[in-house]
Amino acid sequence: MARGLKAWKVGASRRFDAEVGRRIASLREQNGMTRSELAERLMVSRLTLQRYEDGAYAVPAFLLLRICAMMKVPLAAVLAPAITVAKETV
């Protein structure tokens, strides 16, 4: 049972990270920015940003706040869709 719960948590976390990443990519594109441009403004490598957008890495909270400030959107604009996706998989 514990092993199944752990697997569910890992799966839900990955789905959450992937949805946050998709939302960041969408906001970036809506603002006419390339991945390289946003990565430079965030002071991360283009590959790191790609991994955030692909959901391979979880985006640190301080970067989420910077992205939201740059894109002039509330944090909920990035997190709310991801929370919905994570809940739907329960």
User: Which CATH number goes with the domain that contains 56?
Assistant: 1.10.260.40
User: Tens digits of per-residue pLDDT, 51-76?
Assistant: 999 999 999 999 999 999 999 999 99
How many domains does the structure of the chain reveal?
A: 1
pLDDT tens for the chain, 90 residues long, are 455 545 545 677 888 899 999 999 999 999 999 999 999 999 999 999 999 999 999 999 999 999 999 999 999 989 886 666 555 554
Determine the Cα–Cα distance for residues 7 and 65; give it in Å rounded to an integer.
29
* Residues spanned by the domain of 80: 2-88
SS3 for 47-67 is HHHHHHHHCCCCCCHHHHHHH
